[in-house]
Structure formats: structure tokens, C-alpha cells
């Protein structure tokens, strides 16, 4: 498959999959099962993709615990929770095909939690009408990744997890491969492919506190797609989780599961007040994710936060055995990162950027991007979650659209009769890399990355205003200018510095898309809080779509089909009694 070409490595495959998390692996499996040659690449160890962090569970209306559940109800709950900004056709596809997604995992040996009689156990997650979240302890993502890795190995899927993709190769609106480099030895890599599936995650690492892994979710998908001619949808819609750790600095934002509140954890400010009384006296700590995040943010900005800029979450009043049994991961994380024993001491937390609901614009049928042969899936894509993600829906999306997109890409490459390649597209990607490696100035990518994160935290965090967003754009423009003077310095340890330079380019582009769309969404809806426009505006029930050349435009949404629209519009049961709020 690979031939040496002076100092550049040339590879070719029928379909290139960028990303080896759950989405990329599921698509690769589908292609291999259909006998199509596939190469999957990633910039991080394949056993340890971001997907492994997912804890709580994966949704499908299996009805194992509540037989009255249905795909229509799952679709309705998803649409309602999205504040009616999700694409109804994508919602329907995921809800209808979810059971098959779980079935595939089961067939490949996924160790789901089960009831005594063998049924897959399903639990409540917030805003679901029925128990429909399947799980494997609090390691659901890790078990999914292991299961998919095992199946991919059985099918001999070729995976290289040390290739950083820097540009997609496109000519006349058709993709013909990608360009990148080997992170270990720096060899430039040119990959020819008839189709490319982008599964490279989201952009949550452009905020200072984030539940993302280090060096992941830096907006690579946004940049790769946008420079290839695709568009970004809902960039401003980012879910902030209420409880991210503040320390240590290099792990700021690491998640404390909502199970900590679900089990009876108490939130207080620096004055010792149980502040949820002010925001949701009935549900208190069990209120919804967006409300608890907004409450914490408000306490901190009003000066009632801790010296380090957080609030307290305390579970120490719970029996030690309950904590060890119900919150083992939280207990271990705090010991590992802070040497703090949550059975005796309260945690300091703040809202953390958790999930990119926006991403690359995709068509509901096949997740095609509008660029021929280019598809996007998983957190890189958009359309399922709108202004708020229903917990457990992103893992099932990986399975459902991984399969569907793999199937479509297989048909696409099989039906192609001619291939066009353009040396100038390769030349552009090559020159860009050479330029980053040549002496351009003394700016450091790592330092600028931190500044991007400060700008986004300051001006596009949990609460936004016109003035703040405008200021954010001004500061971003200055960072874009300084980025022209970044020089990457590879060292004996490898080419991480070049990776950081490209992470920065992705982050700058994602930050611009986010700020520009956030400015246009002059309303408060779901995760997007505008202090200057505190109401929802019915005229804005649609999506903001962004591209570098065209900027922002508004797209209306198709109405949802009768089969689940009325269910979604009906008053739902918002009670959280007995439900795990994840
Ligand atoms: C702490 C935590 C808990 C969560 N819990 C849940 C849950 O309970 N239920 C649920 O449904 N969801 C949950 N989520 C969300 C869910 O885990 C993610 O949305 C999902 O795993 C994303 O999968 P993905 O395959 O799209 O991307 P990822 O798993 O992020 O994989 C991206 C891949 O792209 C590669 N990549 C990126 N850029 C490049 C590049 N330039 N070149 C080459 N490769 C590149 C990366 O190396 C990686 O292999 C949770 C998330 C977090 C952080």
C-alpha cells in the first residue's frame, strides 16, 4: 500500500478515514465488511481516543426496562432537548437505527450491563421520558472503543495512529485524498483516496476549561472541512458541563460526573450558601445541565466564587461506602489529580466546555458535506443535538452514522470510473508545512493556543454579549496576525511542535466561526445565553452556517414529521426523581 517518494511518503487507499475514535472505527468496519479498502489514521494512540472518556451510556429505545418506549419517543425527546434546532431527518435516522447500533456492538462482544434474566439494563438519563440508556459500568466509552478495535482487528483494518492530517486534497469540488505528517519522525505523508470520511472530533479545547483530552478537539475537523469547501453549522452551540475540576492547570476542566449531584452532592458558593435555591428551588442540584452550569457561572462572575474562580461540590456527607460504590471514578480521579479525598473534603469546580453540538454541515441521508467524496461523522458533524445534547445520544450517533456513511462511501468509490488529482492542491499543503518549519518568527504555538482559550473563555463562555463577542473578534484578529510568526521546532522527542502549530490553526478557525455565529444568534436558547437578548426568538429557529469565504448565513429548518413532532411539542415530564442526571 505504501511506496517511498524521496522524503515524502506516498500512500493510497479507496477510502481514508480521519479519526480512530468510535465514529471513525465504526465507519472503517463497515467499509471492510463490504470489501472496500480502508485506511484509518489518528493523531493519538488508537486505544485511547477521546471516545474512551465517555462514561454514562448510550441510547436506544430497546424497551428492555420500559416496554412502552419507542423510536418516536426517543426522536421526540432529542428534538425537544435540542430546543428545536436539530435536523428532524437526522434525529429520525438516529432514533430509528439506534437498536441496530446496539445490536452490532452486542454481536461483537460488548459487555453491556445486564439484568438477572439477561436483558440489557437501561437507566434514566435527564430529559429522557423512559429508561433507555445502556451502559457498561461507568466505562461505556472505553468498552465501545475496545469492542470496535477488536472487530477492526478481525477484519484487518489498517490503522495508523501517528499521522496528523493537515489538509484535505480537493480539485473541482471533489476530494482526492489528504496531506499530513508522521508525528514521530516528521515524514510528510501524501495519501491518495477516492473518498474521505472526517471523524476528527470537535472544538471544545478552545476554551480554558474543557473535559476534552489535551491536544484533542482543537477544531481540526472545522479547518480541514472549511478549507476543502465544506461549511460549518451551529459553531456557537457548545455544551458546558456544570462540573469540571479547576486543578491541576494542565487538566483544568476534567469532568466530575453528574452522578455526584445525582447521588446527593451539594453545591455551595464561597459564602457557604446553597446557591441553587436562587435558580431552581424545586430541583436544586438535580436541575438540568444548562441551568446548573449557568448558576455556577453566575455565582462566580458575581464575586461569590472561590479565590480560584470556582464553586464547591460536596459529597462528604454521604456514607463512604456509597461514594466508593456509586462514584468510584470520581473518587479515583480526585485522588489521582489532586490527592483529595472526596469522602472527607469538598471539590472545587467550574463549568467546563464539554461537547461541540455544532460541526461540519452534513446531509441527513449520508452525511455528505457537499464536497464530492467528503463525509463527516461523530462529534465532527452537526445536526443531531441543536442547542442542547440529550445525554447518551452522541455515542449512538457514532454507531448509526458510522455504519450509514461507511455504506454510502463504499457505494460512491465503487461507482467511480475516473479519478482526477491536482498537483497544485498537494503543492499548497506541502508549502504550508515547509513554511511552518522555516524560521518565521519567535511566536510559540502553545502560548498562542493558551491565548485563544483565554479569549474564548472571556468572551464566548457560558454567557455572551454583543460587546464581549465583538471584543473577542478584535482580540482574535490580533492572534491570527501573531500566528503568522509561529515557527515549529521539532526536537529529539518528535514532531509534537508541528502538531501544536496545526492545532493552533484549527483552533483559530474554529474560534472565528464560533464568535461570528454567536454574534448573529441574538437570542437565548439552550446552551447559548445572550445577556443582551435573554429571550428565545421564534424567528431564529434555524441554523447559522459559516464558511471562511461567505461568513455567516441563516438556514431555516424543515418541519419534523407528524410521527414525532406532536410528541416533542407535548408537555414532557421534566421531573428528575429517581433519574440519573447525566
Ligand atoms: C468525559 C466525557 C464523558 C462523556 N460521556 C458520554 C456519555 O456517557 N454518552 C455519550 O453519548 N457521550 C458522551 N461523551 C461524548 C462522546 O464521548 C464523544 O462525543 C464521542 O466519543 C466522540 O467520538 P468521535 O469518534 O466523534 O471523536 P473522538 O473520539 O474525539 O476521536 C477523534 C479522532 O480524530 C483524530 N484526529 C483529530 N484531529 C486529527 C488530525 N488532524 N489528523 C489525524 N487525526 C485526527 C483523533 O486522534 C481521534 O482518533 C462524553 C465525553 C466526555 C469528554
Percent of the chain with pLDDT over 90: 86
Give the residue whose CA is nearest to atom 13 of ligand 1. Answer: 54
Assigned C-alpha cell, 402: 458510522
What is the distance, to the nearest Å, from the Cα of residue 373 to the centroid of all Cα atoms in its chain?
23
The Cα-based distances of 24 to 50, 51, 112, 509 in angstroms read 12, 10, 21, 23
What pLDDT score was predicted for residue 7? 87
Q: Report the separation in Å between the CA atom of 202 and the middle of ligand 1, taken as the mean of its atom positions.
A: 8
Q: Is the pLDDT of residue 263 over 70?
A: yes
Side by side, which strands form the sheet with 238-245? Answer: 238-245, 347-356, 311-314, 266-268
**What Å distances lie between residue 506 and 211, 233, 326, 462, CA to CA?**
18, 16, 38, 22
- Helix intervals (H) in 384-541: 393-415, 423-437, 445-459, 466-483, 496-520
Q: What is the pTM of this model?
A: 0.95
Which pLDDT does position 572 carry in this prediction? Answer: 57
Residue 266: its H or E element: strand 266-268
Cell numbers for 69, please give them.
Answer: 418506549
For ligand 1, the distance from its centroid to the CA atom of residue 49, given in whole angstroms, is 7
Residue 463 CA to chain centroid, in angstroms?
Answer: 20
Residues 6 or more apart whose CB falls under 8 angstroms from that of 493 comprise none
CA–CA distances in Å: residue 295 to residues 81, 124, 246, 277, 394: 19, 24, 17, 10, 25
The pLDDT value given to residue 340: 97
**Ligand 1 pocket member 394 (CB < 6 A):** yes
489 in active site: no
Centre of ligand 1 to C-alpha 51, Å, is 4
Cell representation of residue 410: 463504499
pLDDT at 258 > cutoff 90 = no
Grid coordinates representing 217 are 478537539
Burial class (CB in 10 A: 0-12, 13-18, 19+), 577: exposed
Among 223, 261, 289, 367, the one annotated catalytic = 261
Query: Which residue has the CA at smallest separation from atom 52 of ligand 1?
Result: 54
Q: Tell me, yes or no, if 485 is annotated catalytic.
A: no
Average pLDDT over residues 162-187: 97
| Ligand 1 pocket residue status of 126, Cβ below 6 Å | no
Binding site membership of 220 for ligand 1 (Cβ less than 6 Å): yes
Q: Which of 309, 322, 273 is nearest to 462 (CA)?
A: 309
Using the predicted structure, report yes or no on whether residue 1 has a pLDDT greater than 50: no
Least confident of 110-114, 126-130, 146-150, 560-564: 126-130
Residue 409: is it exposed, middle or buried by C-beta count within 10 angstroms (0-12/13-18/19+)? Answer: buried
Q: For ligand 1, is residue 253 a contact (CB within 6 Å)? A: no
The whole-number pLDDT of residue 61 equals: 98
**571: confidence class by pLDDT, cuts 50, 70, 90:** low
The pLDDT of residue 573:
53
- What is the mean predicted confidence (pLDDT) over 40-45? 95
Q: Which of 203, 241, 354, 512 is an active site residue?
A: 241
With the most atoms of ligand 1 within 8 angstroms of its CB, the residue from 16, 53, 148, 202 to mutate is 53
- Which numbered atom of ligand 1 lies nearest the CA of 224? 41
Q: Compute, in angstroms, the gap from residue 244 CA to the centroid of ligand 1.
A: 17
Cell numbers given for 528: 447559548
Q: Which distant-in-sequence residues (6+ apart) come within 8 Å of 214 by Cβ?
A: 205, 250, 251
State residue 11's pLDDT score: 98
Model confidence at 105: pLDDT above 80: yes
Rounded average pLDDT over 433-461? 95
Closest alpha carbon to 488 in 480, 496, 497: 497
The distance from CA 287 to its chain's CA centroid, rounded to whole angstroms, is 23
Which residue has its alpha carbon closest to ligand 1 atom 11?
Answer: 392
- Is the CB of 54 within 6 Å of ligand 1? yes
Cβ-count burial of 355 within 10 angstroms (0-12 exposed, 13-18 middle, 19+ buried)? buried
Q: Which atom belonging to ligand 1 lies closest to the Cα atom of 50?
A: 29
Q: Which one, of 227, 232, 230, lies nearest residue 429 by Cα?
A: 227
Farthest CA pair distance, the chain: 70
* 3 has a pLDDT exceeding 70: no
**Residue 358 to residues 68, 218, 237, 341: CA-CA distances in angstroms?**
32, 14, 6, 37
Of all protein residues, the one whose alpha carbon is nearest to atom 38 of ligand 1 is: 200
Question: Nearest Cα to 322, choosing from 347, 343, 337?
Answer: 343
What is the DSSP pairing of strand 463-464 with strand 529-530? parallel
As a whole number, mean pLDDT of residues 5-24 equals 92
Amino acid at each position: 500500500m505504501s511506496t517511498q517518494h524521496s522524503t515524502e511518503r506516498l500512500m493510497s487507499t479507496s477510502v481514508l478515514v480521519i479519526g480512530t475514535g468510535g465514529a471513525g472505527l465504526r465507519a472503517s468496519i463497515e467499509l471492510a465488511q463490504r470489501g472496500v479498502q480502508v485506511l484509518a489514521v489518528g493523531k493519538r494512540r488508537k486505544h485511547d481516543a477521546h471516545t474512551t472518556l465517555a462514561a454514562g451510556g448510550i441510547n436506544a429505545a430497546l424497551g428492555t426496562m420500559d416496554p412502552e418506549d419507542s423510536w418516536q419517543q426517543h426522536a421526540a425527546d432529542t428534538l425537544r432537548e435540542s430546543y428545536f434546532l436539530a435536523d428532524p431527518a437526522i434525529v429520525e435516522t438516529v432514533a430509528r437505527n439506534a437498536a441496530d447500533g446496539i445490536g452490532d456492538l452486542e454481536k461483537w462482544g460488548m459487555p453491556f450491563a445486564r439484568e438477572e434474566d439477561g436483558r440489557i439494563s437501561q437507566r434514566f438519563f435527564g430529559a429522557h421520558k423512559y429508561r433507555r440508556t445502556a451502559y457498561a459500568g461507568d466505562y461505556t466509552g472505553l468498552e465501545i472503543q475496545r469492542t470496535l478495535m477488536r472487530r477492526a482487528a478481525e477484519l484487518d483494518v489498517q490503522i495508523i495512529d501517528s499521522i496528523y492530517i493537515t489538509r484535505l486534497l480537493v480539485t473541482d469540488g471533489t476530494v482526492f485524498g489528504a496531506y499530513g505528517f508522521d508525528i514521530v519522525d516528521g515524514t510528510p505523508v501524501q495519501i491518495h483516496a477516492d473518498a474521505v470520511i472526517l471523524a476528527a472530533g470537535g472544538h471544545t479545547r478552545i476554551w480554558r476549561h474543557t473535559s476534552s483530552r489535551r491536544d484533542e478537539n482543537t477544531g481540526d475537523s472545522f479547518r480541514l472541512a472549511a478549507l476543502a469547501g465544506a461549511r460549518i453549522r451551529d459553531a456557537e452551540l457548545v455544551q458546558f458541563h456544570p462540573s469540571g475540576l479547576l486543578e491541576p492547570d494542565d487538566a483544568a476542566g476534567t469532568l466530575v460526573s453528574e452522578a455526584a449531584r445525582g447521588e446527593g452532592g451539594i453545591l455551595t458558593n464561597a459564602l457557604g450558601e446553597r446557591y441553587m435555591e436562587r435558580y431552581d428551588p424545586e430541583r436544586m442540584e438535580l436541575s438540568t445541565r444548562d441551568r446548573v452550569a449557568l448558576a455556577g457561572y453566575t455565582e462566580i462572575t458575581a464575586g461569590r466564587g472561590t479565590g480560584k474562580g470556582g464553586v464547591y461540590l460536596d459529597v462528604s456527607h454521604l456514607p463512604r461506602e456509597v461514594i466508593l460504590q456509586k462514584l468510584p471514578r470520581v473518587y479515583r480521579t480526585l485522588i489521582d489529580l489532586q490527592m483529595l479525598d472526596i469522602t472527607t473534603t469538598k471539590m472545587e469546580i467550574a463549568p467546563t466546555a464539554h461537547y461541540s453540538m455544532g460541526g461540519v454541515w452534513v446531509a441527513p441521508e449520508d452525511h455528505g458535506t457537499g464536497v464530492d467524496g467528503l463525509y463527516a461523522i461523530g462529534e465532527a458533524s452537526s445536526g443531531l443535538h441543536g442547542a442542547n445534547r440529550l445525554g447518551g445520544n452522541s455515542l449512538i450517533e457514532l454507531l448509526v452514522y458510522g455504519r450509514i456513511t461507511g455504506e454510502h462511501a463504499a457505494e460512491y468509490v465503487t461507482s467511480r470510473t475516473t479519478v482526477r488529482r491536482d498537483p497544485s492542491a498537494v503543492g499548497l499543503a506541502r508549502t504550508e508545512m515547509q513554511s511552518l518549519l522555516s524560521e518565521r518568527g519567535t511566536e510559540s504555538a502553545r502560548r498562542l493556543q493558551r491565548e485563544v482559550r483565554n479569549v474564548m473563555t472571556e468572551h464566548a463562555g457560558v454567557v455572551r454579549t454583543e460587546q464581549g463577542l465583538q471584543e473577542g473578534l478584535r482580540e482574535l484578529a490580533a492572534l491570527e496576525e501573531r500566528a503568522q510568526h509561529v515557527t515549529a521546532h521539532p526536537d529529539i522527542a518528535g514532531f509534537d511542535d508541528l502538531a501544536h502549530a496545526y492545532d493552533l490553526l484549527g483552533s483559530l478557525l474554529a474560534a472565528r466561526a464560533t464568535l461570528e455565529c454567536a454574534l448573529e444568534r441574538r437570542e437565548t436558547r439552550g446552551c447559548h445565553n445572550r445577556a443582551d437578548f435573554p429571550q428565545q426568538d421564534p424567528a431564529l429557529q434555524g441554523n447559522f452556517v459559516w464558511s471562511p469565504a461567505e461568513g455567516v448565513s441563516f438556514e431555516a429548518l424543515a418541519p419534523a414529521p407528524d410521527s414525532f413532532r406532536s410528541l416533542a411539542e407535548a408537555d414532557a415530564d421534566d421531573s428528575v426523581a429517581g433519574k440519573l442526571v447525566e
